[in-house]
């Protein structure tokens, strides 16, 4: 699979779908299958309701899209492309004008922030975040470390404990998220990911994982903290970006999956903009979006 990552990078897109780590880790959850078609990376996901991602590569993309449509037809399903960005939507419409119906999906939109905003937390609107960070610093003997081979097992153990405390086994979405986080930690080095953790009196109380996504954007995949350490989430957010994202303009903190609490938390950091996502439904395939 070493051929995939360069094709995703070459797209230079800010959407979370262009992270190889996301494709690999969430692939089993969404029954994702991938292939190399005429030099393009293509993927199909969904066991009972399949959809495709926009092909990544160089060459005759229109011909590859038609091959994907033929694949859907052969399987008896409507042809749909999911999670299109505004730019890939425009490319698709230019290639195949008026062939697709486009539907915006708010729950899939990624939250994109200015890195400097999250590092400096300047101004009145960020005062609550600064207060929480000050509280964490004042109330705890803390240290920050990058995640490495030497300490990653402690992050795995912290992830399991976080899941136990938050009842992951009783909530489907949390269970899937915890499994994805565990898989990402297990393959942390192989995927060339970056991570950071906070210790209080030697114990790991927060960790986060991300990676460079495109030329101007860093992405954060996972962020976990024990809430009894007030300000731990705000602190790991700021410290991790300080150590790994200072050279980027933007940070993508992914979508909220329609969760009201997560949406409120992400909006409280005042995104610079939302990375919109669309489904494209082929008008020629007799399909109705689910």
Which CATH fold topology does 4-109+276-282 show?
A: Aminopeptidase (3.40.630)
Residues with Cβ within 8 Å of residue 244, at least 6 apart in sequence: 146, 194, 196, 210, 218
Task: Report the pLDDT value the prediction gives residue 1, as an integer from 0 to 100.
Answer: 65
**What pLDDT, on the 0 to 100 scale, is given for residue 172?**
73
Averaged confidence pLDDT in the chain: 94
Common-topology check for domains 4-109+276-282 and 111-254: yes
Longest dimension (CA), the chain: 63
Cβ count near 174 (within 10 Å)? 16
The position carrying tokens 């940070």 is 251
Best CA proximity match to 210, nearest among 171, 246, 160? 246
- pLDDT recorded at residue 288: 43
How is residue 151 written in tokens?
Answer: 């300490």
pTM across the whole model: 0.94
For 180, phi then psi, to 5°, come to -65, -40
**Which residues in the chain show pLDDT less than 50?**
287-290
Ranges of each domain in the chain: 4-109+276-282, 111-254
How does DSSP classify residue 56? B
Q: Please give the Cα distance from 78 to 51 (Å, whole number).
A: 8
Q: Which pLDDT does position 27 carry in this prediction?
A: 80
Strands 217-225, 250-252: pairing kind = parallel
217-to-9, 55, 88, 234 alpha-carbon distances in Å: 11, 21, 17, 20
Quickly name the fold that domain 111-254 has.
Aminopeptidase (3.40.630)
**3-state DSSP assignment of residue 226:** coil
Q: What are phi and psi of 163, to 5 degrees?
A: -65, -40
Q: Is the dihedral of CA 78, 83, 85, 87 positive or negative?
A: negative
Question: pLDDT tens, 67-97?
Answer: 999 999 999 999 999 999 999 999 999 999 9
* Sign of the dihedral defined by the CA atoms of residues 266, 267, 271, 276, in that order: positive
């Amino acid at each position: 699979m070493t051929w995939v990552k360069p094709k995703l990078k070459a797209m230079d897109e800010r959407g979370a779908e262009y992270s190889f780590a996301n494709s690999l880790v969430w692939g089993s959850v969404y029954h994702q299958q991938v292939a190399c078609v005429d030099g393009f990376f293509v993927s199909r996901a969904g066991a009972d309701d399949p959809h495709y991602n926009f092909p990544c590569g160089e060459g005759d993309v229109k011909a590859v899209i038609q091959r994907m449509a033929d694949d859907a037809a052969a399987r008896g399903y409507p042809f749909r492309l999911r999670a299109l960005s505004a730019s890939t939507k425009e490319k698709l419409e230019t290639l195949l004008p008026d062939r697709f119906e486009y539907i915006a999906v708010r729950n899939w939109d990624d939250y994109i922030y200015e890195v400097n905003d999250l590092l400096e937390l300047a101004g009145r609107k960020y005062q609550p975040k600064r207060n929480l960070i000050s509280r964490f610093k004042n109330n705890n003997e803390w240290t920050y470390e990058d995640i490495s081979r030497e300490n990653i097992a402690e992050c795995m153990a912290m992830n399991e404990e976080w899941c136990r405390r938050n009842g992951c086994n009783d909530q489907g979405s949390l269970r899937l998220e915890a499994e994805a986080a565990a898989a990402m930690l297990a393959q942390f080095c192989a995927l060339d990911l970056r991570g950071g953790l906070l210790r209080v009196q030697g114990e790991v109380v927060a960790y986060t994982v991300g990676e460079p996504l495109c030329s101007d954007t860093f992405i954060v995949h996972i962020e976990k903290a024990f809430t009894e350490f007030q300000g731990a989430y705000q602190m790991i957010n700021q410290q991790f970006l300080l150590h790994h994202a200072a050279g980027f303009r933007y940070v993508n903190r992914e979508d909220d999956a329609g969760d009201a609490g997560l949406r409120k938390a992400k909006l409280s950091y005042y995104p610079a903009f939302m990375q919109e996502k669309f489904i494209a439904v082929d008008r020629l395939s007799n399909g109705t979006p689910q």
